[in-house]
Structure 1
Amino acid sequence: MKQLPYSGYAEMRWKNGQGVTREVYRFPASEQYDWRISVATIREDGAFSRFSGYLRNISVLEGEGMFLTVDDQRSALISPFQATDFNGDSEVFCEVVGGPLLDFNVIYRHETTQATVRWLRDGAWQHQQETMLLFNAGNLLDITVESERHTLQHYDSLLIDNPATVTVHADSDTLFACVTLTSH
C-alpha cells in the first residue's frame, strides 16, 4: 500500500509534444509499462497522442467537458466525472468546451491488464487480488484499509495491492475515482 501525494506526481511532456501530463503512477516503472494513471491539462482543441497496444479511459476533472472524435465518430458531450473508454490505436481529436480542462487518464496494455474506472462518493468493500488505486477529486477523503487510516488531500491517491477491507468516508460533495487493475 502506498500513499501518492499530488505534489510528488512527475511532470512530463505529451508524446505529441502539445501538452503536459502529471503521472500518478505506472506499473512497472519502465518505458514498457502495463498501465499508467495520469492527470493532464488540455488547454485547446487538438489531437491526442496514439498509444499503440493500449486501451484508454479518460474523465474530465475540471472544466465544462469535451467532445472526442474517435476514428471519425464524434462522441456526445463528455461531462465531468464520466469515465469514457477508447482504443489507444485510434485517431482521436478533442474539442474542449468552455476553456481549459483537467482530465484523469488510465492507459493500459490490453494484452496484460483489464482496467475499470468508477466515480464514487463513499463505500465499503472487500478488496481482492487485483491492484486498486483511489484518486481523490474532492477536498478531503478518509480511507480505512483494514485498521490503517489514510487521509487524502485534493488529487492525492492511494495504491492498494494486497487483499483488504476498504472503507471510504467522504463529504457529500466529494467524488473519488476507484480504479481496479486486473492482470490476466
Structure 2
Amino acid sequence: MSQMQVLRARDYPRMPWKNGGGSTEEITRDGGAGLEGFGWRLSIADIAESGGFSSFSGYQRIISVLQGDGMVLQVDGQPSRDLLPFDAFAFSGESQANCRLLGGAIRDFNLIYAPQRYRARLQWFAEPTRLFSAASTLLLFCAQDTLNLRIAGHPQQVMGLYDCVQLSGNAQLFELEVDGRCCVVELSDVSR
C-alpha cells in the first residue's frame, strides 16, 4: 500500500538559492543533505528581476511560471519561447541559464531530478481529470484556491493554493481524480 502525505504551503521551508541570488520554498524532496545530493526536489521560487539561474550539474530541470507575466530563458545562449503561466519547459541543470522577465516579478515552480536515478513526467491540468499511474512516487500540486483530490484506497483530500500531496511507495497502477488546475508529477525509480 502506498503512503500519502499532505504538504501544506504554509509549512514549506524557505532556503537560499545555490547562487545566492534569491530564495526558494522547498515543497518536498526524496532525501539527501544540503542543496545537492537529492534524487529529486520540488520547489517554488520568487524571481523579482531578470538574472542567472543556479547550476545543478547531473540534474534535469522542468520549470513553469505560476504567477506573473512570464519569462524567456536563455539556455546555453539559446532563447526559449515565451514561458507563460502553467507552460512547462525542460533543460539540463548544468546549462548556463538566465531569465528575462516579460513584465514584473514572477513566481515559478521547479522540478529538479537526477535522470540516472529517476524517470520524470510533469503535466499541468486545468479541468476535472481522471488519471491512472504506476509511478513509484506521485506528487500532485494544487494551483487554485481549493481542489478536491480522490485517490483510490485513500481518503479524499481538500487542498488549498500551492498545497501538495505526495504518494510514495506505489507498487501498482492506481486511479486519481482532481477537479481543477493542478500539476501532476510522476517519478519512477530507474533501479526498479
Give the Cα–Cα distance (whole angstroms) in 1 for the partners of residues 22 and 88 of structure 2: 21
Scaled by the length of structure 2, the TM-score of the pair is 0.90
What corresponds to 1:181 in structure 2? 187
SS in 2 for 1:7: helix
Inter-partner Cα distance in structure 1 for 2:121 and 2:90: 10
Residue 137 (structure 2) aligns with: 131
RMSD of the TM alignment (CA)?
1.2
> What CA distance in whole angstroms lies between the structure 2 residues aligned with 1:168 and 1:128?
17
Question: Relative to structure 2, which stretch is displaced further, 137-146 or 119-128?
Answer: 119-128
- The aligned residue for residue 167 of structure 1 is 177
User: What code does the residue aligned with 1:168 have?
Assistant: V
Residue 111 of structure 2 aligns to a residue in which SS? strand
Q: Deviations over 1:86-118 (max 9, x none)?
A: 000100010011100000000001110121111
Which of 2, 23, 29 is the equivalent residue of 2:5? 2
Q: Matched residues in 2 for 1:123 and 1:20: separation?
A: 33
The equivalent position to 2:106 in structure 1, one of 98, 101, 109, is: 101
Q: Deviations over 1:39-77 (max 9, x none)?
A: 000000100000000000000000011000000001121
Amino acid across the alignment from 1:100: A
Number of matched residues?
180
Amino acid at match of 1:15: K
Among 63, 79, 84, the residue aligned to 2:84: 79
Q: Which runs of 5+ in 2 are unaligned?
A: none
1:158 is aligned with what amino acid? V
TM-score by length of 1: 0.94
Question: Where does structure 1 differ by over 6 angstroms across 4 or more consecutive aligned residues?
Answer: none
Identity level (%): 37
Kindly provide the amino acid, as one letter, of the partner of residue 102 in structure 2.
V
Structure 1 segment 22-101 matched on structure 2, within 5 A: 22-31=25-34, 32-101=37-106
Q: Offset of 1:29 from its aligned partner?
A: 4.5
Amino acid corresponding to residue 67 of structure 1 in structure 2: V
What is the DSSP-based 3-state SS (H/G/I as helix, E as strand, rest coil) of the residue aligned with 2:122?
strand
Give ranges in structure 1 of 5+ residues lacking alignment: none
Q: Secondary structure at the match of 2:156?
A: strand
